[in-house]
Every structure is written in structure tokens, then in C-alpha cells.
Structure 1
């Protein structure tokens, strides 16, 4: 991710193709082979990496850290 490329959205390295674009295509029924035909500079490994990244992100959890203020009454 680079804030200067595609607004910081995760992209396939060296391209302006976002992970979201690939996921959207797959969701609409486009096969990896068809995606590569649409974007010939991508490889099957790129499509697989996008799916892996999306899977990893879906499993992340946000953890809220408790903060304390010194001198405050509780």
C-alpha cells in the first residue's frame, strides 16, 4: 500500500490494480484466467496473492488498548 497510489488501497505490486478490483471480478464470476486476459501484466500468482491478502485481512481483529490518565479519580 502506498498513499500516493490508488489512494493507499492495497494493489498488486508494481501495478495500479487493487485487491478490491480482483475480488470484485471474482465475486461477479470472472475466473482467474479471465482476469489475466483483462490484465495481461498480472499472473495467476498475483490473483492468488490478492485472495490471500483478503483472507488475511478478514481474519485480523482490532484490539482496543485501555488507557489510563494519571491523577484522575476512579
Structure 2
């Protein structure tokens, strides 16, 4: 093999599910920093996508909160 790392797919999916389940429990600053500082383009895109998703979910929660006024 050429150094291929086999990941436990169920473990990875469980971690992603936990991150996406409650956007308020994620340290969004760490995701942003990981995205900015990651040299691997694929990982950088993953961190960026997670950051954008978490930010969007937080914004939706705030906007949909009763009494929110623009």
C-alpha cells in the first residue's frame, strides 16, 4: 500500500453528526483558525465548510428567535 490510512467510517460520521447536531457547542473560532492555517487543500475545504455551516445555523437560530428585529 502507498501509506493509505483506513478510517473507521462510523467513528468519523458519528463525530461529524455530533458537530452538526448543536452548532452552539462548537468552538467556531477554532474551526476558522483551522481553515486559515491548514496547508492541505482538502482539509482546508472541510474546515471552511464546517465553519460556514455552523455560522449559518447560528444565524438562523438568532434570526428566528422571537423578538428579533433587523
Quickly name the TM-score band, shorter chain normalised.
0.3 to 0.5
Higher relative contact order (CA 8 A, sep 6+): 2
- Give TM-score, length-normalised by structure 2: 0.40
- For normalisation by structure 1, the TM-score amounts to 0.38
| Structure with greater helix percent | 2
Q: Which has the larger radius of gyration?
A: 1
